[in-house]
Amino acid sequence: MTTLVSPRQHLLMPWTVQEREENVLEFDYGEGVYFYDRQGNRYLDFLSQLFNCNLGHGNRRVIAAIQRQAAKASCISPQIFTEERVALSKQLAQLAPGDLSKSIFVNSGSEADDLAFILARMVTGRAKIFAKYRSYHGTTLGGLGVGGDPRRAAIEPGPPGTVRFFDPYCYRCDFAKTFPECSIHCLDALERQLQLENPATVAAIVVEPVTGAAGGFPLPPGYLTRLRQLCDKYGILLIADEVITGFGRTGKMFAVEHEGVVPDMLTLAKGLTSGYVPMGAIVVREHIARYFETKMLPLGSTCAAHPLACAAALACLEEYTPELLANVRRMSELLFAQLSGLAAKHRCVGDVRGQGLLACLELVRDPTTKAPLVPPNTDSPIPLQIRRLAWDDGIHLLVRGSLLILSPPLIVQPEHIAEAVEKLDRILAWVDQILSSQAD
Ligand SMILES: Cc1ncc(COP(=O)(O)O)c(C=O)c1O
């Protein structure tokens, strides 16, 4: 008799209560916008795994570049340059807006943000980092502690000097105002908060141009421009966390380009290598790079700028063509039109928002009162049930609290959007049904 052994027997799973994960999904292989589990079931990857597989699965050119690099050189001290590392830094300098022209490579988005916070403190000699309440900046002590996402509970009170401010979360405005009549009142509030904190103690303000898993909403038009002005007024550095939004996700190479804003630091990961090899980067402006010409940069890590990651990133950059970005914009229009249709049909959809191929449905118990499906900071089985339902129906997406987040690979086509919408229709009908049965 054989005994079934759980694949998680010797594993601790991220972001979950372990015993809830008995029914794990075991990835076998992927092709384009689909992937397959070990039982041969097919899934439409409407999350690009975790916002990272921008180019879809099995991209032959990226795979070949990694293979070539592995055969050539794959184990190198971070203090020794490679042709690929130099070429990648040059390409990022050309792609990034303004004088964002020097890169530091790391192994993840968390490290990129953590390091950006440290650099900001060093360069300004100031201690405080301002971050939005609904934000996620990674899982390290610095990243998790600065981000406002409830996951920060793991390490509260977090790094000293962290200050949080209210978001431009227009669906549930913290100031009970409405955009655009509000003239982005939340930035006036932020300025007052800066003054009360003493702006001369603030090193940086960090924002995601489109909040990912912590809120799923874009910054409203004009927000980044005014935030840049605010930072300039008080000598505060602006960090744009483009770990999710970088590399075409919003229809431009970087989301800050929608407003023509140049942050002082751009943090990147995920799409940089499309998830084929782990890599993150901090791209800094000249004034920050200059500071370290004569001062020690005491930061680095053994596998940073790993040759396989550099090769993967270079190959990915070749794939992020103007045609691919145009596809993102086209598919985005189609996706949001279809999602609005679903919102009109299902009572549980309170809001549809996003930018490019990053979309969020906010689920509510009642669209009139906007009572959330799962109140913030509460533990509920519903998100896991929705994820299970989605997997059973052959679609991979993110469910966090009341948010259902979609971010398909940028190569997605109309037939994939139609397939996703059909599956979402069934999922939302299930949510409608459990809500009406609870109301009975
Ligand atoms: C906006 C944002 N910043 C940082 C991170 C951390 O990146 P990583 O998971 O690569 O450490 C994430 C991860 O999802 C993210 O969404």
CA of 434 to the centre of ligand 1 (A): 32
Range from 13-17, 245-249, 363-367 carrying the lowest mean pLDDT = 13-17
Residues 67 and 191 both lie in one domain = yes
Taking the C-alpha atoms of residue 89 and residue 96, their distance in angstroms, rounded to an integer, is 10
Q: Is residue 2 predicted with pLDDT exceeding 60? A: no
CA of 269 to the centre of ligand 1 (A): 8
Mean pLDDT to the nearest integer, 169-182: 97
Q: Show the CA angle centred on residue 111, arms to residues 110 and 114, nearest 5°.
A: 85
CA of 366 to the centre of ligand 1 (A): 31
Q: Which pLDDT does position 379 carry in this prediction?
A: 82
Mean pLDDT to the nearest integer, 330-349: 98
**Summary mean pLDDT of the chain:** 96
Q: Is residue 39 predicted with pLDDT exceeding 60? A: yes
Q: Which pLDDT does position 227 carry in this prediction?
A: 98
Testing ligand 1's pocket by substitution, the residue of 15, 244, 398, 407 carrying the most ligand atoms inside 8 A of its CB is 244
Q: Is residue 101 predicted with pLDDT exceeding 90? A: yes
Instruction: Give the confidence band of 24 by pLDDT, cuts at 50, 70, 90.
Output: confident
Domain boundary among 284, 319, 354: 319
Atom 9 in ligand 1: which residue has the minimum CA distance? 109
Mean pLDDT to the nearest integer, 128-147: 96
Residues 189 and 295 both lie in one domain = yes
Cβ atoms 267, 233 nearer than 8 A: no
Residues 309 and 379 both lie in one domain = no
Range of the domain at 72: 61-319
CA of 368 to the centre of ligand 1 (A): 33
| Count of residues making up the chain | 440
Taking the C-alpha atoms of residue 283 and residue 96, their distance in angstroms, rounded to an integer, is 8
CA of 30 to the centre of ligand 1 (A): 22
Instruction: Give the confidence band of 4 by pLDDT, cuts at 50, 70, 90.
Output: low
Instruction: Give the confidence band of 439 by pLDDT, cuts at 50, 70, 90.
Output: confident
Domain boundary among 298, 319, 340: 319
> Could you tell me what percent of the chain has a pLDDT over 90?
92
Q: Which atom of ligand 1 is nearest to the CA of 269?
A: 10
Q: Is residue 265 predicted with pLDDT exceeding 90? A: yes
CA of 268 to the centre of ligand 1 (A): 9
Atom 8 in ligand 1: which residue has the minimum CA distance? 109
**Would you give the distance in Å from CA 413 to the centre of its chain?**
22
Q: Which pLDDT does position 6 carry in this prediction?
A: 84
Q: Which atom of ligand 1 is nearest to the CA of 51?
A: 14
Residue of 275, 273, 281 whose CA lies nearest to 50: 275
CA of 111 to the centre of ligand 1 (A): 9
Q: Which atom of ligand 1 is nearest to the CA of 245?
A: 1
Q: Which atom of ligand 1 is nearest to the CA of 213?
A: 16
Taking the C-alpha atoms of residue 246 and residue 299, their distance in angstroms, rounded to an integer, is 24
Instruction: Give the confidence band of 298 by pLDDT, cuts at 50, 70, 90.
Output: very high
Q: Is residue 7 predicted with pLDDT exceeding 90? A: no
> Is residue 112 domain-resident?
yes
Instruction: Give the confidence band of 20 by pLDDT, cuts at 50, 70, 90.
Output: confident
Taking the C-alpha atoms of residue 111 and residue 301, their distance in angstroms, rounded to an integer, is 10
Residues 288 and 162 both lie in one domain = yes
Taking the C-alpha atoms of residue 380 and residue 374, their distance in angstroms, rounded to an integer, is 7
Residues 46 and 184 both lie in one domain = no
CA of 145 to the centre of ligand 1 (A): 13
> Is residue 8 domain-resident?
no
Residues 170 and 262 both lie in one domain = yes
Atom 13 in ligand 1: which residue has the minimum CA distance? 138
Look at the chain and report how many structural domains it folds into: 2
> Is residue 11 domain-resident?
no
Residues 170 and 255 both lie in one domain = yes
Residues 351 and 432 both lie in one domain = yes
Mean pLDDT to the nearest integer, 244-256: 98
> Is residue 3 domain-resident?
no
Which residues have C-beta atoms less than 6 Å from ligand 1?
108-110, 113, 136-139, 208, 212-213, 241, 243-244, 269
Testing ligand 1's pocket by substitution, the residue of 15, 114, 137, 355 carrying the most ligand atoms inside 8 A of its CB is 137
Mean pLDDT to the nearest integer, 272-280: 98
> Is residue 168 domain-resident?
yes
> Is residue 1 domain-resident?
no
Residues 194 and 304 both lie in one domain = yes
Q: Which pLDDT does position 3 carry in this prediction?
A: 54
Testing ligand 1's pocket by substitution, the residue of 107, 113, 250 carrying the most ligand atoms inside 8 A of its CB is 113
Residues 105 and 29 both lie in one domain = no
Report the half-sphere exposure of 183 (CA within 13 A, side-chain side): 2
Q: Is residue 210 predicted with pLDDT exceeding 80? A: yes
Testing ligand 1's pocket by substitution, the residue of 136, 144, 210, 405 carrying the most ligand atoms inside 8 A of its CB is 136
CA of 390 to the centre of ligand 1 (A): 23
> Is residue 5 domain-resident?
no
SS3 content of the chain, % helix, strand, coil (to 5): 40, 20, 40
Q: Which atom of ligand 1 is nearest to the CA of 214?
A: 16
CA of 110 to the centre of ligand 1 (A): 6
**Domain containing 215 — which CATH number?**
3.40.640.10
Residues 144 and 287 both lie in one domain = yes
CA of 311 to the centre of ligand 1 (A): 21
Residues 311 and 228 both lie in one domain = yes
Q: Where are the beta strands (DSSP E) in 63-135?
A: 100-106, 128-132
Instruction: Give the confidence band of 1 by pLDDT, cuts at 50, 70, 90.
Output: very low
